[in-house]
Structure 1
């Protein structure tokens, strides 16, 4: 693509954004100021839908990063109305393939040798063509096959000129973000420049195939020894920043229900295992495949001699999930994982207030947010739809569902929300997971998938609570039990300084404070032992019962120590 073509592309993107901003300014700012807000309200849904349709057309025509922008925006339910997100969510990352001569030229330049020398066979027809690159099947040369132990491979080749196109698109997006920062109705809800930078980082990593290869190996190491999951091996000798050679692991697409049944594999079981594996990535490995669409996940039937077939055979026909395409991965930092643990426990308990606290912990809700309406909406959500599976939700009156969705969406978008770094890709991954599982099993209930993790997290939280309370109590006890020596030292210093005031009243008061403090320590110890015992009774009855029994001792001290002290003073 020439410099002139790049400039024309940039002008087209900026021109589209400028027209939409002028329309936004007119309808959302000018008309309400002159008393015509009813006109803006009445036409908003239609305008939003037309905006999404025009952007979708632009994205398909331009390709490149614009398709990724559409997919990125489709998951921004926090700041965009459903008229836009629903139109963009079906935007597919598929474009016409690049002619093979251009692919051959780029691949040979990267690998430093003609393709017919590097590979024993290379299919000119692509397996898949996307906006950033395309994939071809190939066969390794005999030498490479002997060294790697692989034969059939898939070779991903970057689209020629895509780096320049990505640079042009990101420059345009950064300029548009600067405009949006000056629009109050937008800046109150989203930090557009930060959003663009997050998107830019993800996009630049996705076109670096060395980064993807490292992700593939890290993902495989995370599930090493887990017979449920597999990932393709990387052929590093035939991998560069713009060419990636992977083991060919093509099998049954995860959403091919008919093929699964023909292979004797129950789709509902696939949905259950898939949900388990995705939650494991979030809460155990903290490294999540953020693009789990049907083209990136296969169900691989196993022969009797394959590794893991014995363990997996207990559930019927042995099979495993095979993930591919690791260009888009989500990291889950420790602080985000802690907030997500709170959120899972709140969802399992149908606790709206706890969900709001978790949202604050994660950083989604700003501290100044008035969450009274949100708490009310969440309570209604759990009361009406909590525990329903996909099939049950389909039986709800569509008008009720639509009205509740509009009201709930309005409440959410009225709040000062900002998805922190790392969370956007995680939401995308979980949304795709939920949709995939519901497609495989209409009876799939996301609550059922969450509850085992919630139970485990509750047990862990219970153990942490006992440790924290016990630690605090012991720390307080050490401090308070050492108070008499400190008081004695203080009195001694006062005596040595020949201070004339009488310390007897001070001593009596300190004795009383000391007594009260020791009773407080006993009360804390009682609460810690009682709560810890109650939480551990289900998983460890013996330890739980012992802790509950021991809690009686500090309780007796807390209740009667004061009485005994008063009797002694009399």
Structure 2
């Protein structure tokens, strides 16, 4: 009922999102299901890259036009390289959350509604020009009153204000996305690869947390507590008396942006040292605290000069944070064991334990790809990997990328945020120090993780080895049992699966013939519509018969050999 009330004033927006999705799904159905069934799979294959790119471009335009949550949808999809082709993720990667600011009169009204007092009483000064504006909210500089400043311990603040009406827009967008997710769940070629409703719910949870400023304030305090004993890392303090779910007041920690190399050098700060400190701070969050900043782009990290020539890193914007829960840590430990023993089978099992692969995954092709990965890079340590020509990694990615993308991967939200954080960290540090090596930054933490887990790892390896010994000990008796059964005539061989595949090939051949016949009749009819309309109409009408056979034979086609097979098997 709440959703319906939210949708009503934004019905045009709701319908536009669904109309866009339905048009794209019809095109998907036509190119990926209908054309291959009538013998035109080549057209589908040749046009797929351009079609995916045009789809992403159209969504880009839609997101910028609608704003609201759709900008976040595009940014979320740009990170889903596990379920989307690169043509889509690359196009959406450039989607920026830049929108016109809300008029100050509306911001003032929102602040006064949230705090229950006039703006002049809540703040001694409030800048009417926003510091930054985004689709969900905007930020303004301000100054606390003397009494509030005494209580908080600081006076200069940045106030984040949620856009008026954004709650209703988010409810509308999520309602539309859930509807689209339900559609996708009923399309088998999609549902076999992607759990679309689960993706929508993951996105919904992240988005609702991001607009809950009380949640962000708690994250900021938790982050600050984790680094309470580290003078090189800081976070803004929260003015709780001036904070609500839609309004967040933080101490103003604006300083030198971490990627402003000229300003850093002007302040006597070495960018190379900044890169090292930033990487260490990020990996400490991941490996030590299991709670990390998932959006460490340049606008969210400042380098703050300190008295005496020292400096520190100051993080802001804690709306998007990631955690490494115990279940994921256990799965990652299994991955470490599998990689250490170069065991492709065990690695696949560990990946399934983490929850990356959907039940429909063909794990055999994944296992083969992993085995080849171990064969090429498996014997290298961190230092050796860092010396590998990047082109070799790129060639390997191209060689096996199609195999990996064909699998129904779906990364858990925590792992996706982890990959995002590491990727942004590596890019930022490389910009500060062209010689930066991410392996050097990770190695101390990875080594500590392995030492912490060494007892469990040795135990697991020993159990695996003992299991192999047991299998080897039982093998002679099992072989003898099989030979005895063969001599007694007990063992039989079922060829029904081979015959079933032969039947499938025959049906495919007949459908291809029908597809070609349909194309000939349809094209001929279309050409004759001008000079000989009656004949053209007849040919187009007749073409429906082979089209129906080509499309429906795969759904209702029987096997002419079923009776013979049952006779032989009996």
- 2:199 maps to which residue? 195
Q: Given the alignment of the two structures, is residue 143 of structure 1 paired with residue 152 of structure 2, yes or no?
A: no
- Which has the higher mean CA deviation after the structures are superposed, 426-435 or 7-16? 426-435
How far does residue 100 in structure 1 lie from its aligned partner after superposition?
0.9
Higher RCO structure (Cα 8 Å, ≥6 apart): 2
- Residues 125/41 of structure 1: CA separation in 2 closer, same or farther (3 Å cut): same
SS state at 1:279 partner: helix
Pick from 153, 166, 173: which aligns with 2:157? 153
Which runs of 5 or more structure 1 residues have no equivalent in the other structure?
305-316, 472-570
> Please, what TM-score do these two structures have when normalized by structure 1?
0.74
Which runs of 5 or more structure 2 residues have no equivalent in the other structure?
464-570
- 8 A Cα contact 2:287 2:449, kept in partner: no
Q: Distance in 2 between matches of 1:293 and 1:390?
A: 26
Pick from 87, 92, 117: which aligns with 1:88? 92
- 8 A Cα contact 1:387 1:445, kept in partner: no
Q: Given the alignment of the two structures, is residue 374 of structure 1 paired with residue 366 of structure 2, yes or no?
A: no
After superposition, residues 258-337 of structure 1 pair within 5 angstroms as: 258-304=262-308, 317-337=309-329
Q: Given the alignment of the two structures, is residue 418 of structure 1 paired with residue 410 of structure 2, yes or no?
A: yes
- 8 A Cα contact 1:93 1:131, kept in partner: yes
> Please, what TM-score do these two structures have when normalized by structure 2?
0.74
Q: C-alpha offsets along residues 23-48 of structure 1, whole Å, 9 cap, x if unaligned?
A: 11111111111111111111111111
Q: C-alpha offsets along residues 182-207 of structure 1, whole Å, 9 cap, x if unaligned?
A: 11221111111011111111111111
- 8 A Cα contact 1:254 1:297, kept in partner: yes
- 8 A Cα contact 1:391 1:442, kept in partner: no
Q: Distance in 1 between matches of 2:381 and 2:76?
A: 28
SS state at 1:272 partner: helix
Q: C-alpha offsets along residues 35-78 of structure 1, whole Å, 9 cap, x if unaligned?
A: 11111111111111111111111111111100111111111111
Q: C-alpha offsets along residues 407-465 of structure 1, whole Å, 9 cap, x if unaligned?
A: 33211112232223432322222222222222222222222222112221222222445
- Which has the higher mean CA deviation after the structures are superposed, 251-260 or 371-380? 371-380
How far does residue 333 in structure 1 lie from its aligned partner after superposition?
0.9
How far does residue 384 in structure 1 lie from its aligned partner after superposition?
12
- 2:112 maps to which residue? 108
- 2:130 maps to which residue? 126
Pick from 20, 30, 34: which aligns with 2:24? 20
**What is the root-mean-square deviation of aligned Cα atoms in Å?**
3.0
- 2:425 maps to which residue? 433
How far does residue 467 in structure 1 lie from its aligned partner after superposition?
7.6
Q: Given the alignment of the two structures, is residue 459 of structure 1 paired with residue 456 of structure 2, yes or no?
A: no
- Residues 384/55 of structure 1: CA separation in 2 closer, same or farther (3 Å cut): farther
After superposition, residues 451-530 of structure 1 pair within 5 angstroms as: 451-465=443-457
How far does residue 12 in structure 1 lie from its aligned partner after superposition?
0.8
- 1:503 maps to which residue? none
Q: C-alpha offsets along residues 262-306 of structure 1, whole Å, 9 cap, x if unaligned?
A: 2222222222222222222122212121111111111112113xx
Q: Given the alignment of the two structures, is residue 442 of structure 1 paired with residue 446 of structure 2, yes or no?
A: no
- 1:512 maps to which residue? none
Give the length in aligned residue pairs. Answer: 457
